[in-house]
Structure 1
């Protein structure tokens, strides 16, 4: 009878607060920052008694990966009611040490008072934390966590290599030139496109767990699939202040970057609108990142082709990184314990020179187009042909300029302007002897041209032939009295 009485008494006084229906979402190490604001689960707290409970406190913790539990105050839990609560987590940086999917125990505890005595209940449940490279593509913004422009190793690699290799080409848009240079640097570094045999992007579903490399890992491994290489290009350009976006098309990822130019300035990039993307009034350039190691111009063309094809089919999704970071902030990686050697300049330089020439030709299309139109109407229009050649020469496209000069000479073999301008090219290249040869031939054809004589004078000055330089200056001065004012700086040098 005494035991029965105690059992009845226990049942009567036993707390009626119950934790139930603990549900947990997939947790990804790379997305750890978002769980501060975005719940990783929910739980129900039930009051099974006929009296209210007040001032309850819920605590949610994951051993080793949370320095402090997530807490929630429950001011009132009414009699015979159930309250559903969302669970957040403030993870510490140890979560980024998880390379493989790892099982952990989570604990939910509720503290409350019963009959003026402190009481508590708790439950535990196993959960998997996915490794730091894991991702699911049901929310494309999650890729933002992997685009880490502030990574110290990436920053040092990108900035040092750009400083050493970026060419001068005033006619080419700065952002375009930077992207091209980076693309070629990565190619010279030996980075290759490799399809992930375990989870090729083309075979993934929205719920399949995929794996993405951080940019520092791709630089070290020198290989990656479409998402790895798109992330690398995006993070690198973002580090240099160039806005980027990830492009999702059926079975594939690529990227694009913002030139910063307004739509009405698109001709400064290309006269071919099929190569450009206009987004929010700005000119963007798509790039097929898997073509690293090949021609940037071809990667640009292929990126643009894919963009417009899938955009027309309504099968394109654009993830602007600045927007993605609102939901998935970039991972803060520990300082790297290794370094990545920059590619040798002699491997980068020929790639950059070749691509710069291609970009220059594309950028100069807008300048030569009017003259090309005149030539199309009259193939013997020497003046128009000469302007095309001069434009190419002015911006350093000497081979293209000489090709145009050859075409002019096939029509007019004794055109002094051709020989004079060809001499200017040699002068720019510091080949002063060949410059003098062409200047001298031009002088024979136009003996009273003061400008040609001044060119001969300056080339001789560079060779140290001061007497010849002075003589040609005097001849020019006798023909054109404005020579003294036009060349005043040079004349001061000549008189010393």
Structure 2
């Protein structure tokens, strides 16, 4: 046991303990009849490294000793400070008797170390810490049914200050009596807002003129022909302010003596996310506000909106009429071209709004530019979680080829399990065999970005995750969603604080959930149907573990009222999947034999669990009422689905003993004989079933299949025509048989 050798010393009525080198360590036991005493010990056995069994013929008993072992002190403990957290790691203990590790923390090296948490893995993340604080840690090991080790050496870490970087790529534009500032948004998730500073003379210093949460500031009511200087800083959530960005300056133009008859008062635009480029065709990106400065209704005009290079044609909006001294809001729904997906970094752009109108038959045009920020295609914010719809790309060639090739050998291969479970497990297992792994992206950890709705996260497309073989929880989940959607299984993303995982729809109604064969604790009932949750960060382990973990997470967060479900197909209603450019990525293939070698008998085990779960109720009913027809029938069907043909036949025979003309029992007996290639026995069973239920088209078709298999096509054709005459839908429902037999009506 963990490097110790237990030797029974029968002659001295004791057990001696040695190390692997044969060095004596200790002994226990004496001659006698009391606890821990022996008269004629004859054998010993060790279970689980913690229980020692000693057989004693002299006392006619077996004594059980619990070994109170002590793990070694965890070694090579390291503390790595990160944003609002400290990551601890250490060398794994070698002992098999280790149950978990205990982490202790203190605010000062000489202060009391208090228990913080326990973990089964040799790492721990202490989250939610304030910045610029020192923390001190020690770690111990706890044996299963044994002792706790001494504490490790102290390790310390200071959480970094959350000081944002200076805002970059400042842009400044002047118009009549106002100046517009824009810059690239900071990507740190802890940025809370920006401060804008202004001066007329650099030597006199800057004063704050604005506090905003977007990288855009409009400074109004300014003097004409005046020079203004600006600087911008970013401020973290704990108040730390960045160094100011570059100084920018501009001179306001001279105001016109008379106001134009109509003008573009202002433009309000949101940031552009390349991933959502289809979304803007039906949902406004922003608005242009017009004002009629005259005392008469302004005649019809045309507004155009354009962004160079990324729109093939300007968006045109007919302005029918603007009342005297009135303003009119025009919603902008631009149509972008696919070039927007080729942008590889966040980019500042200039948009242009142009209003064309006629005065005395002469065309007049007023224009106004407005800065906008284009985020590259991997960027998104979690303020609208349905944005993930754009990233779930089931028709993308690498995803479609992978999903279809993996699933093909499993079609109809496990009739005892619901197809959605078989296919989901197969895709999940294939990703594990392929080598996919969970890795937190240090530049955009999901936990940090998801907790600040406006923070811009970096999300991989499924093809990216396949190419890189790794991703954060959102990346892995989005890949699995796309693969399942490709094979027709509806999916949803489950959002909980700081984390996401997946669930898929079995399609079973809530009332039919028992037919799935698994306990309610593993299922989610959502909008009347049964869903299965899966934790994707466990990829590489068994699907069963990932399912159990997903169900556990769902229950825990549901109890706290902090679960949000984002159905992919509903998300697509607003954020359609991106149409990615062609890729030279080679087709990824995972073989069935490799899946089953790595996850041996997993589907068979799930099938046995389902059989046990479902049969328990029927067996209990039969114990109470041996001739319960419903229980006999359902148990027989269940055994048949699981390939237990003798057991299934036994149940149907018992049912016939209760009801000799039971058509269902006879039909199912025929089905079993057909599976066993006992064609003549199957024919007799189907014919007997039809005597009891002459109009059952399902049994007729079963009889047709027996005749075809036996080479009796004329008889098969006759019975098939009888079935079609009984129900014309048979012709369409069993098109394969109709074609083979040449029956067209």
Provide the TM-score with structure 2 as the length reference: 0.49
Contact 2:542–2:599 under 8 Å retained in 1: no
CA-CA distance at 1:167 after TM superposition = 7.5
In the alignment, structure 1 residue 311 sits paired with structure 2 residue 564: no
Question: Over residues 38-96 of structure 1, what are the superposed CA-to-partner deviations in whole Å (9 max), with x where a residue is unaligned?
Answer: 11111211122334321111000011111111111111123322212211110111111
Pair 1:246–1:79, CA change in 2 (3 A) = same
CA distance in 2, matches of 1:165, 1:260: 19
Pair 1:374–1:16, CA change in 2 (3 A) = closer
CA distance in 2, matches of 1:212, 1:354: 35
Secondary structure at 2:300's aligned position in 1?
strand
Secondary structure at 1:54's aligned position in 2?
coil
In the alignment, which residue of structure 2 is the partner of 1:55?
300
CA-CA distance at 1:217 after TM superposition = 1.1
CA distance in 2, matches of 1:158, 1:287: 17
In the alignment, structure 1 residue 300 sits paired with structure 2 residue 547: yes
Contact 2:401–2:588 under 8 Å retained in 1: no
In the alignment, which residue of structure 1 is the partner of 2:271?
26
Contact 1:66–1:91 under 8 Å retained in 2: yes
Secondary structure at 1:60's aligned position in 2?
strand
CA distance in 1, matches of 2:524, 2:347: 42
CA distance in 2, matches of 1:106, 1:370: 68
Secondary structure at 2:511's aligned position in 1?
helix
CA-CA distance at 1:335 after TM superposition = 2.5
- Taking the TM superposition and a 5 Å limit, the aligned residue runs for 1:74-85 are 74-85=319-330
Contact 1:42–1:87 under 8 Å retained in 2: yes
In the alignment, which residue of structure 2 is the partner of 1:104?
349
Question: Over residues 179-216 of structure 1, what are the superposed CA-to-partner deviations in whole Å (9 max), with x where a residue is unaligned?
Answer: 00000001001000111111211112111101111111
Unaligned runs of 5+ in 1: 1-9, 378-387, 398-427, 429-488, 491-496
- Taking the TM superposition and a 5 Å limit, the aligned residue runs for 1:132-211 are 132-164=377-409, 168-204=413-449, 205-211=452-458
CA distance in 1, matches of 2:515, 2:621: 21
CA distance in 2, matches of 1:244, 1:190: 23
Higher strand share: 2
More relative contact order in 1 or in 2 (CA 8 Å, sep 6+)?
1
In the alignment, which residue of structure 2 is the partner of 1:467?
none
CA distance in 1, matches of 2:584, 2:282: 31
Computed over aligned residues only, the root mean square deviation of the Cα atoms, in angstroms, reads: 3.2
Higher helix share: 1
Q: 1:254 aligns with which of 501, 504, 507?
A: 501
Question: Over residues 151-181 of structure 1, what are the superposed CA-to-partner deviations in whole Å (9 max), with x where a residue is unaligned?
Answer: 1221111101211456822110001110000
In the alignment, which residue of structure 1 is the partner of 2:331?
86
CA distance in 2, matches of 1:222, 1:358: 28
Pair 1:394–1:265, CA change in 2 (3 A) = closer
- Taking the TM superposition and a 5 Å limit, the aligned residue runs for 1:373-392 are none
In the alignment, structure 1 residue 243 sits paired with structure 2 residue 490: yes
In the alignment, structure 1 residue 231 sits paired with structure 2 residue 478: yes
The size of the alignment, in residue pairs, is: 387
CA distance in 2, matches of 1:292, 1:28: 30
In the alignment, which residue of structure 2 is the partner of 1:457?
none
In the alignment, which residue of structure 1 is the partner of 2:363?
118
CA distance in 1, matches of 2:368, 2:331: 16
Q: 1:342 aligns with which of 589, 592, 601?
A: 589
CA distance in 2, matches of 1:31, 1:362: 44
CA-CA distance at 1:371 after TM superposition = 7.6
Secondary structure at 1:327's aligned position in 2?
coil
In the alignment, which residue of structure 1 is the partner of 2:373?
128
In the alignment, which residue of structure 1 is the partner of 2:726?
none
In the alignment, which residue of structure 1 is the partner of 2:233?
none
Q: 2:519 aligns with which of 244, 264, 272?
A: 272
Secondary structure at 2:442's aligned position in 1?
coil
Answer with 311-320 or 329-338: which moved more.
329-338
In the alignment, which residue of structure 1 is the partner of 2:602?
355
Contact 2:356–2:365 under 8 Å retained in 1: yes
Secondary structure at 2:320's aligned position in 1?
strand
Pair 1:292–1:166, CA change in 2 (3 A) = farther
CA-CA distance at 1:373 after TM superposition = 5.4
CA distance in 1, matches of 2:640, 2:510: 28
Pair 1:116–1:231, CA change in 2 (3 A) = same
Contact 1:269–1:362 under 8 Å retained in 2: no
